Amino acid sequence: MDKPPFHPAIAIIIGVFAVSTAAVLVKLAEGAPASIIANYRLLLAVIIMAPYVFFKHRKELLSISKKDWSLSICAGVFLAFHFIFWFESLNYTSVASSVVLVTLQPIFAFIGTFLFFKERFSHATIISMIIALTGSVIISWGDFKISGLALFGDILALVGAIMITVYFLMGQNVRKRLSLMTYTFIVYGFSSLTLIVYNLIYQHSFLGYSSYQWWIFLALAIIPTFFGHTLFNWALKWVSTSTISMSIIFEPIGASLLAYWILGEQISWSQWLGGTIVLFGLFLFVVSTSQQTQITISRRKRN
């Protein structure tokens, strides 16, 4: 394996900080509809990627099967609705609550693999999921005591987590056959088209935003997208998936700190308690699932 140009841990640290900015940037774009913010985040990312993809991956684009096109398009649709629900949740609840609840995505993903691919649960996995979901209940209960709208925001964040789970499940097989840049370009492209249609239906204006908001849209397309998810995917060449999953658990912490410093958002006791329980449950979940994966691989090798 090639030696990395710099230590992958540096990329992971930068990636965690980058993805932690997403929720705060959405809050800073106040006044723009959630679907417009999501639309420009993805559309600007597609525009930035287009010259490289058409120059380097043109042949791959022309050789994609109909099945892979269909799955990629569906994945793009669910990614669009993930952003709609998640960004909309930030209009009702705090950054801390929203990001912690969206981070439950690995739990929903594992439930999805159980339902559709008959993946087995270990006892440790079940316990860790119960712990994480208990934390989410504590957050929602605390937010409900503050405001019914805050609870509505929590529900939107959870729906957003389910949407991103379906996106990952639909794309996991396609991703094995396509390069990262080609797959990402297609998914972001069709996700952008979905959001354009959505905004046309709801008659959201595509223009009329301040220069400040346009800078926020561009920052969302670059910082959490390229300096976040792209660096994570780059690091996967040298570190395990479980390492990346473990690092993403720190996103809610980074997002909450940024929301406190930049937006002045205070964290309630229920958010502290529930968030800590969720992150602890997710930590145990990642550890237990990675161990289970290693056991499964070693069994296959013996057989």
What angle do the packed helices 123-146 and 269-302 form, to 10 degrees?
160
Is residue 209 exposed (0-12), middle (13-18) or buried (19+ Cβ within 10 Å)? Answer: middle
- In the prediction, which pLDDT does 123 show? 77
pLDDT along the chain (303 residues), means of 10: 74 89 94 95 95 92 92 93 95 90 82 72 79 84 75 92 86 81 92 97 95 96 88 73 71 89 88 87 78 58 59
C-beta of residue 91 within 8 angstroms of C-beta of residue 31 = no
- In the prediction, which pLDDT does 170 show? 83
Is residue 72 exposed (0-12), middle (13-18) or buried (19+ Cβ within 10 Å)? Answer: buried
DSSP string, 108-126: HHHHHHHHHH-PPPPHHHH
C-beta of residue 27 within 8 angstroms of C-beta of residue 90 = yes
What angle do the packed helices 251-258 and 95-102 form, to 10 degrees?
170
Q: Which residues contact 19 (CB under 8 A, 6 or more apart)?
A: 224, 228, 229, 248, 251, 254
Number of Cβ atoms within 10 Å of the Cβ of 282: 26
Is residue 180 exposed (0-12), middle (13-18) or buried (19+ Cβ within 10 Å)? Answer: middle
Q: In angstroms, rounded to a whole number, what is the distance separating the alpha carbons of residues 92 and 115?
A: 32
Is residue 27 exposed (0-12), middle (13-18) or buried (19+ Cβ within 10 Å)? Answer: buried
Is residue 67 exposed (0-12), middle (13-18) or buried (19+ Cβ within 10 Å)? Answer: exposed
- In the prediction, which pLDDT does 206 show? 95
- In the prediction, which pLDDT does 87 show? 95
User: For 118, left (φ over 0), alpha (ψ -120 to 50), or beta?
Assistant: left
- In the prediction, which pLDDT does 117 show? 66
- In the prediction, which pLDDT does 169 show? 81
- In the prediction, which pLDDT does 113 show? 73
- In the prediction, which pLDDT does 266 show? 86
Q: In angstroms, rounded to a whole number, what is the distance separating the alpha carbons of residues 278 and 271?
A: 10
Pick the closest to residue 20 from 260, 265, 258 (CA basis). 258
Q: In angstroms, rounded to a whole number, what is the distance separating the alpha carbons of residues 71 and 79?
A: 12
Q: Which residues contact 48 (CB under 8 A, 6 or more apart)?
A: 221, 222, 226
C-beta of residue 107 within 8 angstroms of C-beta of residue 133 = yes
Residue found by looking up tokens 């602890």 in the block: 280
Cα 170 to its chain centre, rounded Å, is 15
- In the prediction, which pLDDT does 115 show? 75
